[in-house]
Structure 1
Amino acid sequence: MTKPSRKVSFECWSITSSKTSVASKYSPKIIVPNTKTIHALKVIQKSIFILTLGTLILLLLIQTGRCLWRYLEVPTYFASRVLPQSDADFPAITICPDVNDGYKELFLQTHGIESVKKYNYKRDLVWSSNQSGITPRELFDQATLDLDELIYYFNIRTFGPNHQGNVAQKLNRTDNSIVTQYHRKFGRCFTWYPSNEVKSLGIYYITIRSRRFFAKAYLHKMNQFLDFNGRMGYTFRPNEAHYYQVAYEDIRTLPQPKSDHVHGETCTRQIYDRCIYSTLERVMLNSSGCVVPFLPSQAEICTSQPGINTTFWIAWNRVTNQLNDCNVPCEVLSVSLSGKNMKTRSDGLGQITLYFQPRVMRSEEHHLYTVLSLLAEIGGYVGLLLGYSLLHAASSISSFLETKIKIMEQQLVQ
């Protein structure tokens, strides 16, 4: 009886032992942590964070540099829009006598000057009278044509009526809309620019009739008569009537820094004619102590040959800005005349009629990349790459102040 019981006991032990070995074989192994493993994981964790943060900061610096470089290039763009004529600038009209009619040769001869060329052309010039009682300035004024001698009729036709109900207005020769210009070849010219009242009505056409002289009309921006670049005069002769359609564009650019090797800006907002006249006067006075007669100056006109010769060539070499004494204007008018028609007249007068459009194109330059755009783009990269914003900065400051307050409160309690 004892043998069978041992056998059963052995079998049960064998089965139990077999199950235990299978369970231990397939159960996961438990790794006991140690300090080296923990340290290695911390190093990996910090390395990943530092590497990611460094990469993001590097990308942020690169993009910030690109943004700054783009801003320093000062990119611009032109925006064009069509405006009512009254809201845009209007061309000034300068009327000059022809080269052969600008000076009264007989008058000069009565004052001892052989010809017009001996007064305004290069060599052996004489700018003073051989008669007493007439100054060099008076000699110039009387030897050149005044407004009444040059222009017989100046009529303005507006789109809208004025306060008196009239759409046709004659030039008021006594108002400030007429400016006298001085020129070596032409003597004196006269520039008309509409008053604000006339300009607000809109100008339909202007008719100008000259007396028995060949005359030329120049259309330009006000105070830019001396800027002859790319501009020509339109001649109207006695017994001829010329009709033109005027188209112009109001162009306004921004002053930009010049290249690295040249100082200054690409254009200026100063009055161009005043700059040229004042530069000529300053250089002449510094060199000779006197000026040429064809200059709007109160300084003394040269009478000695050395002074005449020096100042004449100063004007010859600088009046059209050959030496870049004045920067080019930032605001100009691009004027073109088309649709010319011509009729004959029998009264000996010359006529030019200029028709203007009621709407004008204005092209204005603007900054494409402003300071606000720069800050917005850099702020966008900071938020995208680092997840940081001004709200986070405010929150950090608030937390710092809150901590300081709690410390102070604890110190007061103690």
Structure 2
Amino acid sequence: MTKAGRIFLIALAILCSTILPAHAGVAEAPGEKLEVSLITYGPGDIYWERFGHDAIELRDTASGEEVNFNYGVFNFDEKNFFFNFARGQMHYLIDAETTTDEENFYAQAGRSVTKQKLNLTPQQAAALRDFLLWNLRPENAVYNYDYYIDNCTTRVRDALDRALGSVIKARLTKLPGSMTYRQQTVRLMSAQPWLMLILDLGLGPYADQPLNAWQESFLPEELEKNLRSVTISDGHGGSQPLVQNETLLSPNRLSVPPATPPDLRIPLGIAGLIFAALIIATWRYARLIYTLLGSAFLLVAGFVGLVMLILWTLTAHHSAWANANLLLFNPLAFILLRAPWRAYSNITSSRFANYALLLQLIALLLAMLMHLLPGVVQQNQPWILFALPCWLALAWSLRQTTHTR
């Protein structure tokens, strides 16, 4: 059975429970019998678990039934799933699980489980329940997933905010966020260094915009933290915290992500200098190794640039659009692929290759100058520090071949 079919059966079971008055359950419980909680699951060890997860729990205090609603389900059996994933048109689903089954799964995996019981009026709780059940219908269950602005946590956030009459948004948009999308991504992915570097390289200026607390609540742990600052009316002219109480149901038993993102400038700068030194040394003393190193660098630079160009022009991955790293790595590198082999044979580069190299050096200069201009958002200094010595060393070696000719 597909995931979509299972979701439909769960929704049907919840709705069918209305025929049992003595055990009405969540679907038919009056608002005053509904308890609403935010369940937050800590990050896992696998890369797709690094951002954490969350769910809305509804509990019928009369029957004891507890159901978790979450928006983090996708279906591998969907037609063209991987093609849609590549072009940034991913389809996710809302799911409903019994609370015990879902929370036990995360607890057994060693991930923390935190429950925040929320102060909703009976009318707000009933409205939230009705919205979630409406959302579970097959015709409403699917949504277009976006990593930062429409994901499993923003859907939970928005559902709660909708039931509360936009109280959460009104509060959190006034508070500054602590990090940017890029910083949060790098921080949480730092346990997988290669994937962290690939994501950082592929993110454009969109990922560096300043965030408020509402926007930064795309992360479960940020939403959990930010809800603690939200207050609502107590119905008597005063106010009360939205979070009535908070309970750690299961402690974290995995490695904890760092509190701040790693600074990539020093390691990438050192890596660039080491590669540049290897280019110069092998040009002098091991010309075949120089040729292989230079060709590998150009091949990777061209391929990376081609991927970034495709992400910008042919996909809906807007967080990768207008990536300034295209000035550092771009398809111009493919034009230079023969140059190291000509240098190996002590043959000067072609005029076309020389022009391509000149354009690449101008692009490097532009990439550096961009950081001196007002209004420049993208923070790609680590990649400039890596690419600059690599390209300069390669350019020097190719020009040396021209001079010694």
- TM interval, shorter chain, is under 0.3
TM-score of the pair, normalised by structure 2: 0.20
More helix by share: 2
Larger Rg, first or second structure (1 or 2): 1
Larger strand proportion of the pair: 1
Normalised to the residue count of structure 1, the TM-score between the two structures is 0.20
Higher RCO structure (Cα 8 Å, ≥6 apart): 1
